[in-house]
A and B are shown apart, each in its own frame.
Chain A
Amino acid sequence: MKFADYLYLFIGMGLVTYLPRAVPLTYLAHKKLPQWLIDWLSLIPVAILSALLAPILFADTVHRTFSFGKTELLVAIPTLLVALKTRSLGGTVILGMFLYWLAGLFL
């Protein structure tokens, strides 16, 4: 592929990525949002985080089958407890990485 081919492809991809990111925000930020929508949207972050994490922890992402007891899940348990206890993002991330690295050595 030539420079122009890449450019057109990436501009196309960029547009369809940018519009869903920009349109709701620029539109809704200048509207008076009804209370029910604010309440519903307040649950979106926790819902998205949980939805993103779930297959990583509970599914074999190569074969797309259910999997219970993946290293990711085993490490997630102490990571979750430390997050609850310390409420420190940096500490939790470092500990999760360390445990995952240890698990990789022994499991």
Chain B
Amino acid sequence: MHKIIRQGSLAAWPICLGYIPVGLALGVLAQQAGLPWWAVGMMSLLVFAGSAQFICVAMLAAAASPSAIILTTFMVNLRHLLMSSAMAVYLSGVKRSFLLLFSYGLTDESFAVNMTRFRSGQWDRCRALVVNHLANLVWLVSTIVGVLVGQFIPQGAFGIDYALIGMFICLLVFQLNGSVYVITAITALIVSVVWYLLVPGNSYIIVASVTSATIGYLIKRRNSKKDEIC
């Protein structure tokens, strides 16, 4: 038990480090928008989705309707459909109650860390669950602290704003297991930037991921057919 928590925490610390400045920033904005600390805590607990929470605070400040906020949240978080599907490959046959608990903590960050670990083979669902829930705890505390004392903390201290970017870059490198993966990454990069510049909202994540994974898959299939002939 101790070992599981320790190894899960070791995997989760870059996420936690990255969540602190983001959570604090959210708390500061929420406080400026007039949200009390308990509302921010309730949101972090019930929703647990960074970008959607930022959008919610901005929309509340602009007096948007609850239905508009919920619809926007739905659009922003649709990308998790893909992550949830990809996770199923490694959690096949696990009992449903565990999966329902696990899904709560499925974020961009925990997905990236857990998938990389699962692929390396030295990972299991309990350690993955520790990553999810530890990240959630740090997020919850950071956002509440942000409301209460956020405006007294200097921004950008020690380059902490780069923690999540650095983590994503490194995890991307870990995923590059052959030329098909490199081609997929480059395709995703190009499609993502072009779509991001042309289309408002954040559909660029889903569009770029699906397009590049499909192109990568077709190349992989063509290559393996060639191998069969030769």
Contact = CB atoms under 8 A, between A and B. Distances in A.
A97 B162 contact: yes
Contacts of B221: 36, 39
Interface string A45-86: 111111111111011000011100000100110011001100
Contacts of B205: 48, 51-52
Contacts of A92: 166-167, 169-170
Given A40-B214, A66-B197, A92-B169, A13 B88 contact: no
Say whether chain A's binding surface is mostly helix, strand, loop, or mixed: helix
A56 B175 CA distance: 19
Contact of A48 (B48, B73, B79, B91): B79
Interface in B176-198: 176, 180-181, 184-193, 196-197
Interface string A2-15: 00011111111110
Interface residues of B, number: 95
Given A54-B188, A75-B162, A96-B165, A44 B85 contact: yes
Interface in A5-35: 5-14, 16-18, 20-31, 33
Contact of A21 (B69, B71, B106): B106
Say whether chain B's binding surface is mostly helix, strand, loop, or mixed: helix
A78 B152 CA distance: 32
Nearest to A97: B159
A87 B96 CA distance: 34
B124 interface: no
B82 interface: yes
B148 interface: no
Contacts of A24: 81, 84-85, 88
A84 B83 contact: no
A43 B217 contact: yes
6 contacts: A45-B175, A47-B209, A52-B168, A76-B169, A100-B161, A104-B156
Given A47-B208, A53-B172, 5 more contacts: A21-B83, A58-B193, A92-B170, A96-B166, A101-B158
